[in-house]
Amino acid sequence: MLHKTACESCAGSGIRMIETSSLLGLLKKQVPITCEDCNGKGEVLEIPRCETCGGRGLLGNENEICRTCNGTGHLDSFALIPLELVQPGTTFARHCDRCKNDQFEIVSLKEQHRITRTWEAEEELRKVDIIDRVKVKCTGCSNTYYITVDPRHHLPVPVELIAELENQGLNLSFLYAGRSPLIRGLEPGAPPAQPTA
């Protein structure tokens, strides 16, 4: 699901050149600095685009917000919740379009839902998909809707990727919400992994 690509800002080198000038502006030189986008690593995590809306953020005739990605066009923190935590009471970061709150809560168990993709006259010829979904609610108002649960995305998050995902602006606070750590590489009762240099 998540994979690393070369950083566009530094072309994969981890170093960017900036131009500086002397006090009077007579002398100019280029100085290497560490790339801020990739923290000098030369690669960044690429967050996949949403398959429900094709990366557009809108559904239908472009008049309805895609609730799988919340209109961003790429997967958000909901898609990174491990399948074991997709249950009532789990909170995650998502922007509410009604009250501008940034916290949502899962309020239902996974349920199967039937989506009709084609509308032939005879019901037996219609293309139908069965999806898993959960109902979510904004913690600041009564805004509720269903989000598709795609098992390809709801996998344990590797420990080494958590900091990088949070640096890209994804709020993964659901991983620290007082439950057993469901992070790949960190079993319950094991000491935390030491950062590698």
The DSSP element (H or E) to which 167 belongs, if any, is: helix 159-167
The DSSP element (H or E) to which 161 belongs, if any, is: helix 159-167
Q: How far from the centroid of its chain's Cα atoms is residue 41's Cα?
A: 21
> In whole angstroms, how large is the CA radius of gyration of the chain?
21
Residue-range domain boundaries for the chain: 1-46, 49-184
What confidence tens digit (pLDDT) does each residue in 58-112 have? Answer: 887 777 888 888 888 888 888 888 888 888 988 888 888 888 888 899 999 999 9
∠ CA 169-95-168, rounded to 5°: 5
**pLDDT number for residue 168:** 74
**pLDDT number for residue 128:** 85
CA distances from 83 to 1, 80, 139, 182 (A): 14, 9, 21, 9
**pLDDT number for residue 108:** 94
Q: How far apart are CA 175 and CA 183, in angstroms?
A: 8
**pLDDT number for residue 106:** 92
**pLDDT number for residue 48:** 83
How high is the mean pLDDT of the chain?
Answer: 80
**Bridge partner residues of 147 (DSSP):** 134
Tell me which residue of 173, 136, 168, 187 sits closest to 44, measured CA to CA: 168
**Structure pTM?**
0.67
- Extract the tokens encoding 12: 């994969």
